[in-house]
Amino acid sequence: MATSTLPNLIGGEFVDAAPDRLIQVTNPADGSLVGTVPALTSDDLGAVFDAADAGARAWRAAGPLARGRVLLDAAALIRAEAGDLVELIVAEMGKTTAEATGEVGKTAEFFEYYGALGRQAFGELIPDARPGTFAMQTREPVGIVVLITPWNDPLLTPARKLAPALISGNAVVIKPATETPLITLRLAEILQRAGLPAGALGTVTGRGSEIGDALVDDPRIAAVSFTGSTSVGLALQRRLAGRGIRVQTEMGGKNAAVVLADADLDLAVPILMAGSFGQSGQRCTATSRLIVERQIADEVRVRLTDAISRLRVGAGGADGTDMGPVVSRGAQADIRARVEAGLAEGAEVIGRADVPADMLESGCFVEPIFVTVDRDNSLWREEVFGPVLSMIVVDSLDEAITAVNDSAYGLSSAVFTRSLEAAFRFVEAVDTGQVSVNQPTSGWDIHQAFGGFKESGSPFKEQGQEALRFYTRVKTAAVRTH
């Protein structure tokens, strides 16, 4: 694909970068240049927030029906231009074509779902004890919202945040990850063509080390929604504490899948493979811990080892690729270092896919591996964010639940069983925000509330109508008629 320099959207205009302030975006499969974006500085952000201040008033005044129409039109443009969007995601992030196709489709669904909510009631009448009086409760936008999005779902995560923020009437300033900014700028261009007024959306590309503090320090900000690492999310919570700013953080995970002795392994093993190695393990909801009941542990090992050995690793756009590269050389080095540390602590590799040495050197590829560990091993405790699955063996459902909950994280978990009793005991007892039965730890739909517990998230959920609670505030009014 042809390389290009994409500008930022500021005040309804696309603003080019200074020639000496550019960030190069490269393809993780081969290091080729995909495109460039501006490297904004903190001095550039004042204009972005000035535009957002005016845009918030105009966008709120547009009303929910008009806002919904813009989102629905944007969804239609996303579907019409899906081929180009898929190609760009594969090039800058490294996903397979199938994975990128799914991401583009789900992105359109986010805008369709929230666009349709423009026709839903944003309040209700409530009783009032005083004579001749009725009361009502309405929802209104909070104002200017800053969105900070990650590289692993570079189109879907912006859509997950943008759609509910925009239908609620807020102005949005969005900063995409430095590794994958191009697709977010393309989304901004689509929203502008769909009719978004000037200032309702502003984009900020740049290095977090240079603009991160300034991005959240403007006093006009009403809310910040962040998806990324736990360390950065917790630091953001601390920085914003005491300012009356809403903070939503979707952070790390160390998601466990439990396979009980009565599980259907023909069903479970392909699901475990998809949950663990899909998107090269670069999902916050990826299955990274496997807890197996002893009676079937040997069979699960054999089946998974065989399935992993047949994984085809290659460039995301190549025919037949099951797993693409990880996003960058930095991610590749980090995953390798974490695996080496885990092996030094006693982890044992029992399955891996063969990746040619020249691929490992020329691109950002990582061997998918399957290991057995003890519960103190760093591969069991710490988020790897790569294609690494660790396994332990337990003797009962109760022991399995204890192992699931023995983690600083609480994002997603799953159980494989034919027992309805065991399934509901698991759902009730695990300390995770998302729970699956005979389904993967990943793959939650747009209308289902999404978010984790403990160090995986904050009290505000994303997705579904629950997301509107973060992007709106409640106003109660009492009206005396006589």
CA distances from 300 to 202, 369, 413 (A): 49, 15, 18
Annotation marks residue 250 as catalytic: yes
Give the span between the Cα atoms of 462 and 466, in whole angstroms.
Answer: 7
372, β-bridge pairs: 348, 391
Are 308 and 353 in contact by the 8 Å Cβ rule? The answer is: yes
364 belongs to the catalytic site: no
Query: How far is 432 from 405, CA to CA, in rounded Å?
Result: 8
Beta strands 8-10 and 13-15 are antiparallel
* Choice among 92, 99, 109, 284 that is catalytic: 284
CB 70 within 8 A of CB 191: yes
Both tokens of 311, joined, read 């994984």
Q: How far apart are alpha carbons 444 and 412 in whole angstroms?
A: 10
Dihedral angle sign, alpha carbons of residues 451, 457, 460, 462: negative
416 vs 260: CA distance, rounded Å: 6
Query: Quick one: DSSP state of residue 407?
Result: S
The residue annotated as part of the active site, out of 92, 250, 383, 455, is 250
d(CA 283, CA 326): 11
Closest by CA position to 102, among listed 153, 42, 139: 153
Q: Which of 82, 125, 132 is nearest to 107 (CA)?
A: 82
Cα–Cα distance, 10 to 7 (Å, whole number): 9
d(CA 154, CA 107): 10
Active centre residues (catalytic): 250, 284
